[in-house]
Amino acid sequence: MAGTVTDPAGNAVADAVVTAANAATGQSSKTTASPTGNYRFPVLVVGSYDITAAAPGFKSVQRTGVAIQIQSTTSLDIQLTVGSSTETVEVNANAPQLQTESSDVGTVVTPRQVLDLPLSTNGAAIRNSQDFVFLTPATYGTGTNGGTFEGGVSGGQAFGSEILFDGASLQVESFGDGFANEILPSVEATGEFKVLVGGIPAQYGRTTGGVQSYSSKSGTNDFHGGAFELFRNTALDANTWFNNLSRAQNGPNAGNETPADKKNNYGVLLGGPIWIPKVYDGRNKTFFFFAWEQFRQNQGYQNLITIPTQANLAGDFSQNLTTVSLGINPCDGSTIYQGQIFNPATTRTLPDGTQCRTAYPGNVITGPLSTVAQSISQYIPKPSNGNLTNNYNFTGSYPIISTAETIRIDQSFGQNNKVFGSYNVRDNVRNNNIGGLLQLPLSSFLTFQDLPTHIVRIGYDHIFSPRLLNHMLIGYTRVLNKEAFITATQGKDWPTTLGVPGGSGPLFPGIGISEGSTVSFGNIEPLSNQGYNSKISDNSYYFGDSVSWTKGRHNFAIGGEYRYELSISGFVSLTNGNFSFGREQTAATVGTSSASGNGVASFLLGQVANVYGTNSLVTVRNVGQYYATYIQDEFKYNRDLNLSLGLRYDVDLPFKEGHNIGSQFDPNFINPATGIDGALVFSGSGPGRDGFSSRWVNVYYKNIEPRVGFTWSPSSLDHKSVFSATYNVLNAGIFEWQQIYAGIPAGYSLTGQLNNVSNPFGAAELLDPSSTVSPGIVNPGQYGVPATGNSVNFDRTQLNNQSIPWNQRGFGRPGFYQTWSATVQQQVATDLILTLGYLGSRGTHLGSNLLSVNNINPSNFNLGAKLNDQATNLPYPGFTGTVAQSLRPYPQYSFINTAAYGENLGQLSYNAMTAKLERRFHNGLNLLASYTWSKILTDTGNIIGGSLGGAYTANIQNPFNLKAEKAGFA
């Protein structure tokens, strides 16, 4: 809080003593007015205060109900009248105040608004105060989507805002602010929050345009508590209009019942002084606050799916046989029919090179079946009906449980030393139904996710003198994302139980069957995404210190902050085996394999088309650091004019793996298999490594951020109007989710894979030794899960013909933002303030998805369908592939991924007109109305690029002409 103490003539009253007393806790702070009459309280706990000003020869003045809000400077000028200092003039000052002491542009959402405004439980977690961000002007977004919060402030990128809780950042190095809605405490424990959209002081940085600041509730001198239950149930809901129409036309049925809606959100809270009868009385000095909340929902689902019939699992496919002729079998001259299965043991190669087989009599397998396939078949349920397809109606449910706990302690050691500590824990438990179509252990892609988060904050304020204060803050934030197939919780070694050679571990073998709509079985995890079985820990350590010093008309804030970011990524080795089976291995000929043969029959006979397993050799520890120092001066030039002058300097050190483990694409290395530029390289020193730092990028050291602004409240307008303008330079954070969530770097996660690419008509291997031996097996003598090895693979060619990551040197430069604003505040009535404003910003070097390094040049599009022909003009000896692939800049790779690895080519411009009408709660009425008319032009959306960001991920049309790219949304 700040202001000026004057006499009736408007002259400054030097050395006036100003006291701020918290009405709820009784704690007070004192300061003295400077020779120019200016006073300032640099740090006050959020709440309602009684302000008293006294000076010799003047009556004391007391202003009651003065609101101190989060990250805001309350403006309060005090005029003393001549008289005895024993006399007191009392004035109620609970109306909102015009902002004349700083030029930042923002909106505070009060605790009363957070609690009183409706906040539904339509989501899949506890109520989240971040949803109220959209009450403030210059914000946009869709809110929570898929577990992350999508939105931006003042035109900034999604995931790119700075979010503070009790003063320290909630950003994590994987998703920026994307996890905030999974971290923030219960609404019942949230004091208030402010959204800064412009004129951001130098104390804040590492944002793409806005700052959201939240505080936890504190205890007071009185005990306050409560309990609540938000109850939703299908029995209390009305049916939908269309369901009622269907019931009227067709009668009641399962398809037109009232949609399921069963949710419970309940909790308790208690706060007050720490008071132990006859032992300790903490009133006016020691306070506590505690809150606990839990959300529960049990979501159901129903699927009509296709599974093998009991006859099929016994080897009888007679019901699958049709009379549709597919041609003549060159092996024996018989007619080939659709749905007919053929014995892989009879595979022959005719003199003209044609491969063919002889059919099973009656379409029934006569030979022995694979023992592993039979063991797996025992877990496949019986169909619900006699159909070959859509024959099993499976219903299931998965729970969602979200729990939040908060404890805060505030302690005063006299007037000059104050300490607080807060601890918040959230535990968000859910089952993700990513295609879970069967019961355990066969349920594919049904995963369990446990996402516990922890926030620790410790703050200490020491007052050296009325004009000199030090504020220190220590913070720790942890997001632990544990995700795994639910099968792993059963505690069985499934591959060993089933007899899968070479397999082990708690996961069920993944069985993918290419047979119409037949569902897959077991735990299938693509090699491109190991996130279904991972334990990823984002840890952020924060230390900040700030000195507030009032010198004459100057009010300085001088300080700095340091952040240490540690992300630990561990991925489960896929030793269960992921097997694929297709029609080709039991088809009559190559030409009829799309209609003859059967994937289930190939499975029963153990004819594996493709199989892989992985062995993760390391746990990745990515370390990042951030340093910042700043100086901010709120210079009270005169009673009408305040200048905000600030400068910030920061250095953002992108991730470096703790043991210098890493690998990526480098265009300057020759690929040993192709003899042309472009190969996989390895960080670190020693045999097989190339001496690079696993940071890969150059650190950018030129982040100088000036902040300037002014507020002018002319006396000629009776100080009821305020004009302000600002210009800021901001730098965004550097976040690289792909390095954390995409799995182990190539070479450190070993893959054992066998396929039948060289002979698609044959098997890659047999499932086990009891499987039917057939001519043409690509890897004879191989069974089950292939070996992976146990030592790092430094082969530069191991990602040939696949995608490869590339974190370029220039990607270490953070996003650069310039923002400007102009606002007018008008006191329309004593308790009503209207604010009109303009906000603008320009961003460059933003996180993007634009580069597409390995795309073919559009100048080759005139080749048309010839691009799909086999290439004859080979880019290197031994190349096999299409003309399009041969024309890629690096034809040995399919895709070179830069977007999720720090790419920073995005641009953005934002312009907005805003209006806000505000009335603080008084006489039963509270008002906060805002309107934004804005436009964003951008070729990027979210700060982390890649595949995340939902509605705010831009898609590139032509990477060879980025100047033509514009994506606008308003």
DSSP string, 666-703: EEEEE-TTTSSEEEEEEBSSSTT---B-TT-SPPP--E
At 343 the three-state DSSP class reads: coil
Q: Which of 709, 693, 652 is nearest to 106 (CA)?
A: 709
Name the one residue in this structure whose structure tokens are 């608004």.
113
Distances (CA, A) of 697 to 792, 808, 851: 24, 6, 16
DSSP secondary structure letter of residue 738 = H
Tokens coding 738: 């792909």
Lowest mean pLDDT among 617-621, 693-697, 848-852: 848-852
Buried b (16+ CB within 10 A) or exposed e, 209-236: bbbbbbbbbbbbbeeeeeeeebeeeeee
Lowest mean pLDDT among 111-125, 648-662, 705-719: 111-125
Distances (CA, A) of 814 to 51, 153, 176, 192: 44, 18, 13, 31
Tokens coding 803: 């995608």
Name the one residue in this structure whose structure tokens are 């031994």.
878
* pLDDT in the model for residue 458: 97
C-beta separation of 525 from 574 below 8 A: yes
Distances (CA, A) of 205 to 196, 209, 544, 647: 12, 9, 13, 11
Lowest mean pLDDT among 11-15, 177-181, 286-290, 950-954: 950-954
* pLDDT in the model for residue 95: 61
C-beta separation of 711 from 641 below 8 A: yes
The whole-angstrom separation of Cα 306 and Cα 321 is 17
Res. 313: pLDDT tops 60 = yes
Res. 390: pLDDT tops 70 = yes
pLDDT tens across 790-826, in order? 999 999 999 999 999 999 999 999 999 999 999 999 9
Lowest mean pLDDT among 589-598, 840-849, 936-945: 936-945
Q: Which residues pair with 237 in a beta bridge?
A: none
* pLDDT in the model for residue 947: 46
The whole-angstrom separation of Cα 357 and Cα 343 is 6
What is the mean pLDDT of the segment spanning 25-50?
A: 86
pLDDT tens across 602-615, in order? 999 999 999 999 89
* pLDDT in the model for residue 24: 87
What is the mean pLDDT of the segment spanning 951-957?
A: 57
Q: Which residues, at least 6 apart from 279, have a Cβ–Cβ distance to it below 8 Å?
A: none
Count of helices and strands (H, E) across the chain: 9, 49
- Model confidence, pTM: 0.87
Q: Which of 420, 358, 467 is nearest to 39 (CA)?
A: 467
What is the mean pLDDT of the segment spanning 514-535?
A: 77
The whole-angstrom separation of Cα 537 and Cα 482 is 8
Res. 87: pLDDT tops 70 = no
* pLDDT in the model for residue 88: 60
Distances (CA, A) of 711 to 334, 556, 643, 823, 930: 93, 17, 7, 9, 21
CA 445 distance to own-chain centroid = 21
The whole-angstrom separation of Cα 632 and Cα 554 is 10
* pLDDT in the model for residue 948: 47
What is the mean pLDDT of the segment spanning 75-100?
A: 72
* pLDDT in the model for residue 949: 42
Res. 650: pLDDT tops 90 = yes
C-beta separation of 327 from 592 below 8 A: yes
DSSP string, 107-162: EEEPHHHHHHS-----SSSS--GGGGGGGSSSEEEEEEETTEEEEEETTPPBT-SE
C-beta separation of 911 from 839 below 8 A: yes
pLDDT tens across 391-426, in order? 888 776 677 888 999 999 999 998 899 999 999 999
- 795 phi-psi bin (left φ>0, alpha ψ -120 to 50, beta other): beta
Question: Given pLDDT bands bounded at 50, 70 and 90, which one contains residue 748?
Answer: very high
Q: Which of 198, 213, 211 is nearest to 729 (CA)?
A: 198
Q: Which of 46, 4, 56 is nearest to 25 (CA)?
A: 46
Task: Check residues 3 and 562 and name the one with the higher pLDDT.
Answer: 562
Q: Which of 507, 528, 854, 532 is nearest to 678 (CA)?
A: 854
* pLDDT in the model for residue 155: 82
As a whole number of angstroms, the longest Cα–Cα distance in the chain is 122
Tokens coding 229: 């239950």
